[in-house]
Structure formats: C-alpha cells, structure tokens
Amino acid sequence: MSEEKVYIIPCSGIGKAFGGMCREAAYIVVNELAPEKAAIECLPLIVKGKKEVIDALKANKIITIDGCTAKCAYTDVRVAVREPDAVFMSTDIVKKHRDLKPEKDILILGENAKVLSRKLAENIAEKVDDLYIE
Ligand code: SF4
C-alpha cells in the first residue's frame, strides 16, 4: 500500500442502480483506464478505521464517488481521513445524458447504466491524471 496511487472510493450503493454505477465506474478506472495510477479501497474499512487503509489514504490523493445526496463516500472519507481531492456523483453523469435513463437493475447493471458508468469512469480517469502529476 506504500506505492503512490490515486485512491478511488465509491459508495457502497447496495440498493440503488446509481450506487452500483459508482462501483462499476471505479472498477473501470482501476482495471482499465488507469491501472498504474489508481487503486480502489473499501468504504467499510475506512469507516472501521483500519490503520493501514487510513495511512495509505492520508499519504495519497483521494477521489470519492457517490450515488445520491446522502454522499456516504464523501462524508465518511472526510470524517475518517480528510477532505477528498475530488468528488464525483453518478447522478451528475445521468443529468448530462438524459437520453440514457439508467435501468433499475442492481445485481447486474442494465445497458444504459453500463454506458453511463463508462462515461463517468472516463471523467474520473482524467481527474486521476491531473491529481497524479500534481
Ligand atoms: S451515497 Fe446514496 S447510493 Fe451511495 S451508499 Fe450512500 S445512500 Fe447508498
């Protein structure tokens, strides 16, 4: 965990497609778009205060992704670590693409939700680039 990374923290979003889109976008960033620069971390471990996780986050840049106005990832990271370096909301990408209404499926995202997640991931990957070279 000592390697320099931009940490991506999606909300858990268990019961909502908008939350699932946050996780999907995070996976696309860390697995496909910026695997050398980005890493994902588990929100419950942050809330639990696991020392190695908190130390890694304190030493690196942080991006949170939330699926609704409760902003669980943002709020929990701010309390347990510090203010994130960048924040994203999956609802913002939906507002920008009104033609792509996300389906309600949660376990497996629908086609529109997948397309929206990728668009969100592309925006996040651009921010990862910015933060990584700062
Ligand atoms: S931000 Fe909203 S969607 Fe995400 S975990 Fe919290 S309540 Fe669920």
For the chain, domains (ranges, CATH) are 6-133 (3.40.50)
DSSP state of 134: -
Mutate to test the pocket of ligand 1, among 12, 23, 75 (most ligand atoms within 8 A of CB): 12
Q: Is 71 exposed, middle or buried (0-12, 13-18, 19+ CB in 10 A)?
A: middle
Nearest CA to ligand 1 atom 6: 72
**What pLDDT, on a 0 to 100 scale, did the predictor assign at position 125?**
98
CB 113 within 8 A of CB 13: no
Per-residue pLDDT of the chain (134 residues; tens, 9 = 90+): 446 999 999 999 888 899 999 999 999 999 999 999 999 999 999 999 999 999 999 999 999 999 999 999 999 999 999 999 999 999 999 999 999 999 988 889 999 999 999 999 999 999 999 999 76
Residue 41 Cα distances to 26, 38, 105, 110, angstroms: 10, 10, 24, 24
Q: How many angstroms separate the CA atoms of 19 and 17, rounded?
A: 5
pTM of the model: 0.95
d(CA 129, ligand 1 centre) in Å = 26
